[in-house]
Each structure stands twice: as C-alpha cells, then as structure tokens.
Structure 1
Amino acid sequence: MRTGTLRLSGITKSYGDRRVLDDVSFEVAPGRLTGFVGGNGAGKTTTMRIVLGLLSSDAGTVTIGDAPLDPDDRRRFGYMPEERGLYPKMKVLEQIVYLARLHGFDKADATERAKALLDELGLGERLDDTIESLSLGNQQRAQVAASLVHDPEVLILDEPFSGLDPLAVDVVAGVLQSAAAQGASVLFSSHQLDVVERLCDDLVILAGGTIRAAGSRDALRAEHASARYELRASTDAGWVQAEPGVAVIDFEGGYALFEADSDEAAQRVLRGAVERGEVARFAPVHPTLAEIFKEVIQ
C-alpha cells in the first residue's frame, strides 16, 4: 500500500436533485487523529463511504500519497460503521480471529492479535461470550476491535464512542491514540464534541454537505478566539469593571473573566493586577469546540 496523507479533493455527491456533498476537501495525515463532526444529515457517513469505495462520488478525487486509491490500498483500511455489523451468534474471540484471518493472518497470529486487542479494550474476560450476550457498550468495544485487528494504516470510524460510558470512552480513546502513535491515519466522527476536542489533533466541521472549518484543533481555536481573558489574582478583581475598554463577563473574589477591545486594554488590566498583588494566571480564553461548531454552522 502507498503511504502518505489521505486527501479528499472536491468531493461532490447528489441523490437526484438533492446535493448531499458539495466540494468537500480535507486531509487525514498519518500519525494524527482527525475529528469529523456535523449534525445529523450533514454528510459525514456519505463522505466516509466514498473514501472506502462503498459509494461513488459524482466529482472529485480521493488519494493517498498523491495517487488515486485502489483496491489494494483499501484492504489496508480499517472501518467501523455506525450500525453494528458483527455476527451476533459468534463468540467474541472467534469473531475477531475470523476477521483477522480474512486479512491474511494465520490462525496463531490472528488469535494472538485478537486476544491482545480485546484485552486492551477491556474484553479479556468476555472472549467466550457471544456478541449478542454483550451489553451495547461492550458490543461497541468489540466493533472497535474488528476494525483494528489487522493493523490498518488508515482507520475510519463512524461514531465509535456511541453508547459508551465515560470509562469505556477513555479505553477506546487510548486505543485510537495508540494506533495513531504507531503511524495510522485516523478519521473518526462523533456527536460528543467534548470527546472530539480532547482527542483530536485535527478537526473537520461539515454542515449541509459543505466544509465549514478544517485545520488543526489549536489553529481553529486560535482563529475563532475572541478577545476574552481570564485573570486569577491574590486580590479582589472588582476594580477591573471600571477599566476603560473592558467588559467584565464574570468575577468573584480574585477571579475575573472579561473581554478587551484592544491588546493595550488587556495589558493594562495585567499591569493593574500585578501592581495590586500576586497574579496566578492571566491568559486569553480559547473557545470550546462546541462554541466553534455553533459559530461556523450558523
């Protein structure tokens, strides 16, 4: 398989008169986790299926390492659909071993890989249970194992955290981070914006079939930041309310959250706080992913 950045360029897709994707372009780089977010019907699943070759686009290209994807490339992909697709009557270990063998691993290697991955996902004691006997959260973990057991170089997951409790979210997140650390390109969609914000290196926001924002998480937070600052000082911060060019949003004791109409106004507040006592923190406040999402889809 060719290695390199997975790149979507100008992807367009229509069903009859309804255009569901319009000039969708973004990248998924090796070794990085790319969060793919958007409301229901935004076009996320359609985009993923086009990347996987399950749907054809009306226009645009999907490449890896600057060359068009071919069937050999896609065999090195891992995919987790939103709808569960495992065989309910099969035992957990048997199912994951079977999928590894479909990718060319012999029985011994497939069993070793499956056991290690299931143990990492917290299913080490459920190997001989049937898929249908598992809780929905544990079925989700097994589905993650199915997408990873053949050590894919590109991993595409549609809502991998759906139905998981906070502990299970942390377990699955750790497994995905490990895959990226080993060089995989990871694209995952989720409605849980707090999880995406914590986990992703890069972010793509899709609404109405168009890209509304794309880039690294930190760059997008900086791009959409307002002139909002947080002050934590040893003395009462009520005086900030009287500063010209400053609008206090919240304050209590030595804490103040405010917006400044210029860098000079912000620095004046900092100087005033230093003159009055010890400053524990003074920093710009970056927007959350939820705030960015609301801003760009309006």
Structure 2
Amino acid sequence: MLELNDVTKRYGERLALDAVSFSVGDGRLTGFVGGNGAGKTTTMRIILGVLAADGGSVSLDGATLTAADRRRFGYMPEERGLYPKMKVLEQAVYLARLHGWAPAAARRNASELLDRLGLGERFDDTIESLSLGNQQRAQIAAALVHHPEVLVLDEPFSGLDPIAVETVQGVLADAAAGGVPVLFSSHQLDIVERLCDDLVIIAGGRIAASGARDALRAEHGSERWELLTDGDTGWLRERAGITVAEFDGGWAVFEAESDAARQAVLAEAVSRGEVVSFTREHTTLAQIFKEVVR
C-alpha cells in the first residue's frame, strides 16, 4: 500500500498541494486525474523523491519511503527522458542493468517486454528515429523493464493510437494482477474510466474525490433514466413525478421523484408499444469530474 498523508508543497507564495491524502492499494490500478496545474505531476515527483514535500508524508506499507524503496519503483515522467542516440533494446537492457539485473536476464526481459509493446522489429533503431507514439512505448518499457514493485506513470497514454492504448492497458493490468500498486495520470478520461479500479481527482492542489470507481459512480451518479421505445415519448412530459431532461421521438431521459413514478413510466410505455430498453443512465467519469471540481 502506497499512502500519502497531508502532503503539502509551496512554490513561493503559491500553495501547489494542500494536505493531499490518498492511497494506492496493492494490485490496484489507480487513475489520477485533474486539470492542468492541478498538482498531479508535483504529487508524483514527491512520491518519487524528485521533489521534497514541505509537509506530510509518503509511506509504503506503513513505513516512510526511503531511497532504497524508491529504487524499486518504476517511473515514467510526462517528458520523454530516454537517450536519443541509443538503440531501443540497448536502452532497455541498460536500464534493467542499472537496477541490478544480470546481463542475460536483463536482455531476455527487455526483449520480451519490448516485443509485447509492439517494438519487436525496432530493437536496433535509435530512440530518436522512432515516431512519437513508439517513443512513448519505449518510455513505458523503461519504467517496467526491471519488474518494479510500485509503478508511477505520468500521462502514459499520451500520443498513442487506439491499438497501442489497448496494448499498454494490457501490460499495466498484468502488472497490477501481479500485486503491483499502479498510479497513473491521464487527461483521457475514457481510458481512465475503462482501466482503473480506483480514482483520485485533484483540483487546485486539493483532493476533490477519491475511492473505488464504482463507489464514486454510486455517490455522484445521477438518478436519471433512459427510455427507448418504438413510439413517441412525448407523453412523459405529462406524467406526475417525472421531469424530462431530453427526448427525441421514441427516446427520452428523465428523472423520477420516486420508484413508484419510475415504475409507472415503464408500465405505461409497455402499454403503448414495444420497449426497446429501460435503463439507469450511465454516469461517466467526465460527469463526476465536472461535478466535484466546480
């Protein structure tokens, strides 16, 4: 368990982080989201020891993080930081060796990981010769090549095409399945929503919401319902206890003041014709994000 407790950071008079507290559980994929300048990168750099906090603590399994602990972490910064003149495989092997891997094991693990990330035919290409998307894959490999015990990734999906996103999702999910706490930031909320187990939302240097994805959906989700029929749904506007938010022909989204009012809508819809679907509206991460950062 990686834990942050009341972490604060100032840049002069500006309070960049204000008592930031959250945890990343073993084997949990935790999405870290917030607007530009919200404090995500500063938080990650403090976790890695790149920046020093002005207050609070960062701990792993209840003990304050040490330099030795952090050497077992995998970190991917938002800015690409690989050696541009080095070849792809040579780079990954070198980084594994820096973490103490024997030459043969480092080469074997680097080769397998790069191949899985779609760089199997690029082993002998230099980093600078790769497309931006492939440089991003190489950067992810650099964070994972030494089998880290904790992963901290800043915008790992930036610049990736949909196929590459799916590949990276699989690699991160496998790392989490092996018990690794994974913290990653992203502006691509649809990817975060699809991939993560837990969410941390930061705004203005403060944690606006955190917890399991489904629990946050339940807490911040709407009570709106979606009805799709083969007829017209205009009659919904006349129903007592019903507020129609949107409708178009046989489709409508509405709020019901009680379960009885909602069930009455379903009963009348059935009496009028075929009901194609009747479901609670899915609350997206984007909707939750907008609600909690207001």
What's the counterpart of residue 271 of structure 1? 267
Rounded Cα–Cα distance in structure 1 between residues aligned with 2:57 and 2:7: 6
1:220 is aligned to 2:212: no
Shift, 1:282, TM fit: 2.2
With normalisation by structure 1, the TM-score equals 0.94
Shift, 1:253, TM fit: 4.6
Shift, 1:280, TM fit: 4.2
Q: Is the Cα contact below 8 Å between 1:24 and 1:210 reproduced in 2? A: yes
1:65 is aligned to 2:61: yes
| Cα offsets for 1:17-43 (capped at 9, x unmatched) | 111000100010111111101111111
| Cα offsets for 1:45-85 (capped at 9, x unmatched) | 11011111111111111111111111221111100000001
Aligned residues: 294
Rounded Cα–Cα distance in structure 2 between residues aligned with 1:242 and 1:215: 39
Q: 18-27 or 66-75, which moves further after superposition?
A: 66-75
1:133 is aligned to 2:129: yes
Q: Is the Cα contact below 8 Å between 1:35 and 1:196 reproduced in 2? A: yes
**Aligned AA (2:46):** I
1:249 is aligned to 2:281: no
1:154 is aligned to 2:118: no
What's the counterpart of residue 102 of structure 2? 106
Pick from 26, 29, 48 the counterpart of residue 30 of structure 1: 26
After TM superposition, the structure 1 = structure 2 runs for residues 85-234 of structure 1, keeping only pairs within 5 Å, are 85-234=81-230
Q: 267-276 or 77-86, which moves further after superposition?
A: 267-276
What's the counterpart of residue 11 of structure 2? 15
Q: 283-292 or 51-60, which moves further after superposition?
A: 283-292
Q: 265-274 or 112-121, which moves further after superposition?
A: 265-274
Shift, 1:289, TM fit: 1.1
Structure 2 residues not aligned, in runs of 5+: none
Q: Alpha carbon RMSD of aligned pairs, Å?
A: 1.5
**Aligned AA (1:92):** V
**Aligned AA (1:6):** L
Rounded Cα–Cα distance in structure 2 between residues aligned with 1:51 and 1:153: 14
What's the counterpart of residue 286 of structure 2? 290
Rounded Cα–Cα distance in structure 1 between residues aligned with 2:41 and 2:172: 19
After TM superposition, the structure 1 = structure 2 runs for residues 70-89 of structure 1, keeping only pairs within 5 Å, are 70-89=66-85
Rounded Cα–Cα distance in structure 2 between residues aligned with 1:255 and 1:40: 37
Rounded Cα–Cα distance in structure 2 between residues aligned with 1:252 and 1:191: 32
Shift, 1:207, TM fit: 0.8
Q: Is the Cα contact below 8 Å between 1:222 and 1:286 reproduced in 2? A: no
Shift, 1:234, TM fit: 4.9
Secondary structure, counterpart of 2:227 in structure 1: strand
Rounded Cα–Cα distance in structure 2 between residues aligned with 1:197 and 1:166: 15
**Aligned AA (2:277):** R
| Cα offsets for 1:105-159 (capped at 9, x unmatched) | 1111111100110011000000000000000110000000000011111100001
Secondary structure, counterpart of 1:269 in structure 2: helix
Q: Is the Cα contact below 8 Å between 1:117 and 1:149 reproduced in 2? A: yes
Q: Is the Cα contact below 8 Å between 1:227 and 1:261 reproduced in 2? A: no
Secondary structure, counterpart of 2:22 in structure 1: strand
